A and B are shown apart, each in its own frame.
Chain A
Amino acid sequence: QESHATGKRPDNPADLIEEGELLLTLNIFYPVIFQKHKDHKPYQTVLVLGSQKLTELRDSISCVSDLQIGGEFSSQPDQAPEHISKDLYKSAFFYFEGIFYNDKRYPECRDLSRTIIEWSESHDRGYENFQSVKMEDYVFNDLSLKIGFPYLYCHQGNCEHIVIITDIRLIHHDDCLDRSLYPLLVKKHWLCTRKCFVCKMYTARWVTNRDSLAPEDPCFFCDVCFRMLHYDAEGNKLGEFLAYPYVDPGIFN
């Protein structure tokens, strides 16, 4: 698990990590999209410093759902990637030990945990009182954590990731001591990317439903093949279909 950043020292001396800093190792599991992942969930491993804010971790988690583009674009394929979901839906929370840490940095951020808290308080469900606080006000050193216990990261309203802390230790001379590189990704699960049905070479960027020109439903195309098949030289739509921009989960490989 030796990463590229082992032993690195910062260019800026203000970024040097001090002795006594804690280093946490977190496994962030991908949400189950494919059924084959149900038993062995793929995860990424991230190193984070005790003095870092929770929001820094939140910003570093790369999830494919953040890049989703909502909307049907068969009539205007060129206008597709305007707003990715990450920009539209900025709310997120972490759940650690009975406390929901909600991201409240932007005015659009909502308290996603409110639903859960209300549900728990509506009847005596056997849970202790949950609290809701601001994610940006806390650093990891402030938390009480259990090693190996599953916690939650939720964003986009319903995209949930299990978070498990596997190790806490003191920073060591041989570690990467450049603060700006943390949270540091050390391990990532490699996902197979879905390829275009036509050329079988490029990663799929479009998916179509109810497509009269496609052999299966849904059908995946790369950008070039998609346009060649569905639009004529002038850019007119040929045939009947619904087209959605597709972001493959393997995009982070």
Chain B
Amino acid sequence: MSAVPGLKEDCEELLGAFQRADTVRFERFAELWRERRFHSVFHGRVRALERNKLTKKTLDFAQQYFLPPYSFQIRVGALYLLYGLYNAQLCRPKQKIRIALKDWPEIQKFQLDLLDSQHYDATYIFRKLRLARAFHFTAMPKLLTYRHKKKTGEHHFREEFKDPSNRVNTLISNDVLEELMNIHYHYHKMKCAISADKSQPDKSLSLIKDDFVANLKDITLEHHEWLQNRMKLFQDAKETDKIENKKKEEALLASEGSERASALARIKYRSYSAAIEVSKSRRHRQVQLESSESGPSCGKSPGRSKKPSRRPQPARRRGEMQVAKETVTQHIGMPIITEEDTDE
């Protein structure tokens, strides 16, 4: 399908403004929508056939922002955008939003996240769309057309919208740390139970570093902070040194996101600052809110105040992303982790 002229720019402008607004509240999005009179995107075509085509293409285009790898805030913005577009459309019966089978688990996960972080307005909007039967559940995301002469252009990801990921953090995610913490706590309890002194395990049973989970957490955080600083450095260098160092500049195109990404982290922090009661079946994993500084002495799960897996990370250049300029792989050297002394 040939692209609708100007639609990409308009959507990205709106989503960009929403991102800068630093919030996920629907009221804010609605203000931005009304400011731009966004409902008028559909006013271009009068005849029924063209109107249908235009609406289909518009919804199809907006839908992709709703899925990964876009950042959390952009995805919420995309949800609001879809809601607005679905209701503002002029076609009767209404054109639907296509969701492929493979994307559905992601969306369900997203909805659960919204619920957990108490973004009830976003959840409500999604529920309204479901109740309005706004979705077509399809096998493939894009409807096939046979216009082989009109090539659909490659979709260039807007770097700022992407949620950059860090390989270390995807491996050592919040869930992994929680599990480790929990297992460690049980292990500790087990050792105490079979020892003579019930309050602490026998010396002969200490085979691992007691606080290794906390250390792991600290190391990951350290790595993350190091990356942030590195990115900041590059960014400053970029601002002062635009013309000279071409290579650095190109590598930094991807790092623009870090500023906005830290703003995103702040939003999330605000919403996660309420602890959630876990269900009775998970009694052993009560959530407790902790500050970042607390040590390993309390063997409970670290709480929801931090989510390293969603921490903003500088973007890694991926194979499929094609920016207009030549692809330059980033060479950020890895930090050297010193061996720790055993403290037993």
Contact = CB atoms under 8 A, between A and B. Distances in A.
A142 interface: no
A142 B154 CA distance: 36
Secondary structure class of chain A's binding surface, majority of residues: loop
B133 A147 contact: no
A174 B95 CA distance: 10
Nearest to B94: A174
B127 interface: no
Contacts of A148: 144
B136 interface: yes
A174 B133 contact: yes
Given A7-B93, A168-B139, A173 B144 contact: no
B138 A172 contact: no
A7 B92 CA distance: 11
Contact of B143 (A7, A164, A167, A174): A167
Contacts of B140: 147, 167-168
A172 B139 contact: no
Contacts of A173: 133
Contacts of A6: 93
A174 B132 CA distance: 11
A174 B138 CA distance: 15
B191 interface: no
A11 interface: no
A27 B145 CA distance: 10
Given A2-B93, A172-B96, A147 B144 contact: yes
Interface string B92-128: 0110101000000000000000000000000000000
B147 to A, nearest CB: 10
B255 interface: no
Contacts of B136: 169-170, 172
Contact of A166 (B94, B96, B133, B143): B143
Interface residues of B, number: 16
B138 A169 contact: yes
B166 interface: no
Interface string A1-30: 110001100000000000000000001000
Interface string B142-168: 011110000000000000000000000
Contact of B144 (A1, A7, A167, A172): A167
A168 B136 CA distance: 10
Contacts of B133: 172-174
B144 A170 contact: no
B52 interface: yes
A7 B143 CA distance: 21
B212 interface: no
B93 A174 contact: yes
Interface in A119-141: none
Given A2-B52, A147-B144, A148-B144, A169 B93 contact: no
B93 A170 contact: no
Given A2-B52, A167-B144, A172-B133, A147 B93 contact: no
Interface in A32-71: none
B137 A170 contact: yes
Contacts of B98: 169
Nearest to B136: A169
Nearest to B140: A147
Contacts of B96: 172, 174
A147 B98 CA distance: 16
B253 to A, nearest CB: 35
Interface string B174-188: 000000000000000
Contacts of A27: 146
Contacts of B145: 166
Nearest to B53: A1
Given A7-B93, A172-B96, A174-B133, A147 B139 contact: yes
A39 to B, nearest CB: 10
A167 B138 contact: yes
Interface in B326-344: none
A174 B93 CA distance: 8
A1 B93 CA distance: 12
Contacts of B48: 2
Contacts of B52: 1-2
Contacts of A166: 143-145
Contacts of A167: 138-140, 143-144
Contacts of A147: 139-140, 144
13 contacts: A2-B52, A147-B140, A148-B144, A166-B143, A166-B145, A167-B143, A168-B139, A170-B138, A172-B96, A172-B133, A173-B133, A174-B94, A174-B96
Q: Which 9 A-B pairs have the closest CB atoms?
A: A169-B138, A168-B139, A166-B144, A170-B137, A174-B93, A173-B133, A169-B136, A148-B144, A147-B140
Given A147-B144, A174-B93, A174-B96, 20 more contacts: A2-B48, A2-B52, A2-B93, A7-B93, A147-B139, A147-B140, A148-B144, A164-B144, A166-B143, A167-B143, A167-B144, A168-B139, A169-B136, A169-B138, A169-B139, A170-B136, A170-B137, A172-B133, A172-B136, A173-B133
Interface of A: 1-2, 6-7, 27, 147-148, 164, 166-170, 172-174
